[in-house]
A and B are shown apart, each in its own frame.
Chain A
C-alpha cells in the first residue's frame, strides 16, 4: 500500500497533499516552471505598467491640450454694472468702484465650486473700455483704458518713472458728484508704459487725442509713465497692450495701445463712458500642472453647468456670464484619450491573448513531460483531486509569485500599476497546468479503450469533430460580433459626450468587444489555417512519396503526423499576425502624421506674411524660389472666413487666390494629392470666375454658382467647376486663379508663400521679412512628440516586439513538446541508416510547415485585419487629419517577422540536434519503449 493510500481516510475529505511529490516534480521541471514564471512576469510587467503609463500619458495630454489652447482655455466671467443713475437725472460718481470690482471677483471665485477652483490660477479682474481711435493723424491706432486687479485687490506692481499713478478727477469731498448725461467729457487719468508713451510721444500731464466710434472726444490725461516690476506677471497677459503697442488686435493694420487705470481713476473712467461701454471681467487661467485625466471630467461638468447658468446677454442684470472654451478643449482631449485608450486596448488584448496561448503551450509541454509520473502516481492510488490540488498548489505558487514580481517591477516603472489586465495571464498560468495534468492523469488510468467496432469508433470520432466544430463556431461568432460592434460604433466607447472609460481602467464591458476584434479575427483566421495545414501536409507527403528524396518523405511524414496539433500553430500564427497588425498600425499612424503635417503646412515650409509686408510677397516668393535647394515657391492670398453666398446662404470658407499652374506644380512636388481640376481655373468664357470648392458639410459643391462678398466693392460671381485640393486644415475652401480673378476686378494681395525642396527651411529662414514661418518638419515632430501619439506609437512597437518574442518562445515550446516523438522517429531512421547530418533536414522538414504557415499567413492575416479594422480605430484623432489615414504596409518590418520565424527554425534545429547528440541512440530507443 502506498503512502498516499495508507494516509487516505474514508469518506469525504480534503485533498491530501503529498509534499515529496510536489517538491520532486517542481525540482525535476524547474526549468519549465521558471520559463512559465518568466512569461507571467514579463507579461504582467507589460500589462501592469501600460495602464498607469496610459493614465500618466492621459494626464500629460490633458495638460498639453490646455497649454496649447492658450487663451481659449481661460474662463472669463462678465457681469454688467449696476446703473449709476442719480436722483437728479444724471450719473453719480462711485468712488468705491474698485471695491465693487473686488466683490465681483470674489463672487465669481465663490461660484467656481470645489472641483474647478483648485485647477485655476488666482483670478485677475479687468475693467476695459471700448476701444477708442487715436486721432493724431498717423496710422490706424486704437486705445483702451484698462484696470487690472489681481486676487489681492491690487494690480500688477509698477514703478513710476515719470509722474505718478492716476488720481481722481475730483477732490474727495466731491467724490459722489452727480454728472448730467449731456455734460462735457468727464476727465480721466491713466498711466502709460514707457513703450506706449514713446509710441504716442506723450509725457505726464499730456492729453491723449481720442475719439470713440461715434467720433465723440474723450478726455484722457497721462498721469505718469510706469515700468512693470515683473512683466511676466500673469495679469499683463490679459492686456499686453498696456506694456507695449500690439498690432493686429483690432484688425489688420491696426495697432492697439492702452492706458492703466488706478482704483482712484476707475470711477472717473466709468463716467467718461456710457453705461455699457466699460466692461468688467474676471479671468481665470487654468493651471495645466494640476490638471489630470480624472479631474478633467469634473471640471468639464462644472464649466458646462456654469455656462448653462449664464444669463442671456440681452438681460440687463448683473448676473455672472461665463465664457470659455475650456470644456470644449477638455472634451476634445478626452475623446482623443478615449481613442488612444481603446487603441491601446486593442494592442494589449492581442499581447495578452498571445501570452495566454503561450502559457497554455508551456503547460501542455510540462504535462507531456509529467504524464508518466502522473500516471504512475495515479496507479499507486493517488486520487485525481489530490493530484489536481498538488498541481494547482505548484502552478498557483509560480503564477502568483511571478505575477507579484511582474507587478512590483511594473510599480517601479509606473507607480500605480494596475492588476486588471493581469488577471487573465495569472489565471491561465495557474489553471492550465493543473487542468491539463489532471486530465492526463485521468486519461492514463481510465478503463476506456478504443471501441472495437467500426461504427462505435466512427461515433467517437464524430463526437470529437462536433466538439471541435462547436468551439470553432463559438470563436467565429465572437469574431463576427466583435467586427460588427467595431464597424457599427467604432472603437470609442458609447458613453455620451465622449465620456469614455478612463485610460488604464481595464477593458470595460462595452469597449471590450470591439477592442478584441483584431484578436478574435486572428484566432478565427488561425482556425481556418489549422484546418488547412493537415490537408496541406498530407498533400505534400503524397508529392514527396513520388519523389526520390528520402529526406523529404520522412520530413513531411513527421510534419503530417504532427500537423493536427492545435496550440503550437495557434501561438505562432496569432503572435505573427498580431505583431504584424501592431507594426501596420504603427506605420499607418506614422504616415498619417506625416501626411497630416504636409496638409497642415501645404509644403516643406510656409511663410505667413504680415499685412504690412504683404505688398512685397511676390518678390519675396521669387527670391526664395531662386535660393538653393528650393523646388517650388508659390505666393498666394489666403483669407480665412471670406464671405461667400452659396444657395442663398452665407458661408465662410478659406479663400485662396493663387496662380493655378504654379500651385499645381507645387502640389506635384509634394506627396499631397494632385488636383487636375486646377487646369479648369484658367479657362475663360463662362462669364463667371471659375473656382474650385471643398466643403466639410456639403455646403459648397461643384456646379454651384457662388458670390464672393467684398467690402466697398462689387461682389464677384464664381462658378464652382471642380473640387479644390485641401489647403491647410480648413474644412471649407474656395480656390480661384489669381489672374482670372484679377481680370474680374479683384487683384490679389499675396500673404502666404509655400516653399518645397530640401532647402526650403533655410530659404525661408533667410528671407528676413515680417512673417510667421511654419516648417513641416517642426509640425511633424511636435505632433509625433505629443503625449498620446508618442505613447501609442511606443506601445505599438513594444507590443510588436513582445508578440514576436512570444511567437518565438511558442516555436521553441512547440518544438520541445514534439521533440520526444521526433527523436524517436529520427532514431529509428538512424537505425535504418539515416546519417546524423541528414537527421537535421528531417527535423527541419517537420518543424517548417507550421512555421512557414505562420511566417507567411501570420503577416498576411495581420494586414488583412488591419485593413478591416484600422478604419474604425479613429487614428485620425491622433494624426490630426480630417479623415482616417490610409493603410500603410511596412513591408520590410513584416518581412522581418517572417525572417525571424524562419530563422528561429534554423536555430532550433541545430540546438536540438546538439542536445540529441548527447544521448546515445540506445537511450532514446529504450526511453521510447516506456
Chain B
C-alpha cells in the first residue's frame, strides 16, 4: 500500500476522517483513510454507492475538507490551503471530470476546453494551439465549434476530459466519468483516460464500479463503509501486471 522508498508519491492521503451531520443521525463517511498514489498512474477507487468514494475525491481535490487527516498533492497540503490557495491548486495541479460533464452550454467545445486557459490568463495564440491539440487528442478536432447540446454524451465527456487536461494538471480526478454513458462509450472514455496517462504523464484517480473499467487501471483501491479494504487492493494489484507502485 505504501509507496516505494525511491519514488515520491504524487498523492498522499493520511488518516482522513469525514463525518456528515451531528448527533444520532450523523454519518461517518470516511474513517482513517490512508494511501499513496504514484505519479503517472491511473488508480481506480472502487466501492458501492454511498461507500465514500465521492467524498474522498472531493477532499483530495479540495472541494471538501476532512474533519481530520491530511492530503498532500504534489507536496502541497490541500487541507491547509485557504480559498485562494485551493483556487490556485485547481488552476495548476488538479483537474476534475464529472459524471455530468459540467460544460458551459452556450460555449463551443473549443471555448469550453479553453476555459481553464482563460482563467490562467494564457495568451490567446498559445491557448488556441493547446485547445486544438487537446481536441485532436480526444478525437474531436472536427467538432471544435459545436456546442455541448449538439454533441453526444460520449463526445461531451471527451470535451470535459480535454478541458481537464487544458492547464496540464498533475492530478486528474474523475468521479464516475462513465456513469451517464453506455458501456461501449464508457469504455472508450476510460481508454482515453488510460491513453492520457500514457501520453501526458498525468496521474488519474477515477471512481467507478465497472469491472471492465477497473481492469484498465494500474491499481484499484476499494472503499467499504468509508474505509480502505486492504484485501481487495492486494488482489487487484496482482491482476494489473505489477504497474502499481505498492
Contacts and interface: CB of A to CB of B under 8 A. Distances in A.
Nearest to A560: B106
Given A553-B118, A929-B99, A920 B63 contact: yes
A557 B104 contact: yes
B87 A834 contact: yes
Interface residues of A, number: 28
A921 B63 contact: yes
A925 B98 contact: yes
A833 B167 contact: yes
B61 interface: yes
Interface string A887-930: 00000000000000000000000000000000011100110110
A836 interface: yes
Interface string B113-127: 001101111001000
Contact of B54 (A829, A835, A836, A922): A922
A511 B61 CA distance: 66
A550 B84 contact: no
A604 B202 CA distance: 87
Contact of A833 (B55, B100, B116): B116
A560 B64 CA distance: 31
A421 to B, nearest CB: 42
A832 interface: yes
Contacts of B116: 832-833
Interface in A782-827: 824-825
B30 to A, nearest CB: 13
Contacts of A830: 87, 90
Given A550-B118, A829-B115, A834-B119, A922 B87 contact: no
A828 interface: yes
B63 A550 contact: no
A558 B106 CA distance: 8
Contacts, number: 83
A313 interface: no
Contacts of A926: 54
A554 interface: yes
B233 interface: no
Nearest to A538: B106
A835 B83 contact: yes
A368 to B, nearest CB: 17
B218 interface: no
Given A833-B116, A920-B64, A929-B100, A548 B87 contact: no
B33 interface: no
B91 interface: yes
Interface in B73-109: 83-84, 87-88, 90-92, 95-96, 98-100, 102, 104-107
A817 B83 CA distance: 27
Given A833-B119, A836-B83, A928-B100, A545 B111 contact: yes
Contact of A836 (B55, B87, B91, B105): B87
Given A833-B90, A922-B55, A922-B63, A825 B104 contact: yes
A69 interface: no
B51 interface: no
A831 interface: yes
Interface in A461-518: none
A141 to B, nearest CB: 95
A668 interface: no
B58 interface: yes
Contact of B119 (A545, A550, A920): A550
A835 B87 contact: yes
A78 to B, nearest CB: 85
Nearest to B118: A550
B29 to A, nearest CB: 11
Given A550-B119, A922-B55, A929-B99, A833 B104 contact: no
A541 interface: yes
A832 B98 contact: no
A922 B106 contact: no
Contacts of A560: 106
A561 interface: yes
A824 B92 CA distance: 21
A831 B63 contact: yes
A299 to B, nearest CB: 68
Contacts of B65: 920
Top 4 A-B pairs, shortest CB-CB distance? A833-B91, A550-B118, A922-B58, A828-B102
Given A832-B167, A833-B116, A926-B54, 18 more contacts: A557-B107, A560-B106, A828-B104, A830-B87, A832-B91, A832-B115, A832-B119, A833-B87, A833-B119, A833-B120, A835-B83, A835-B84, A836-B83, A836-B87, A921-B64, A922-B58, A929-B99, A929-B100
Interface of A: 541, 545, 548, 550, 553-554, 557-558, 560-561, 824-825, 828-836, 920-922, 925-926, 928-929
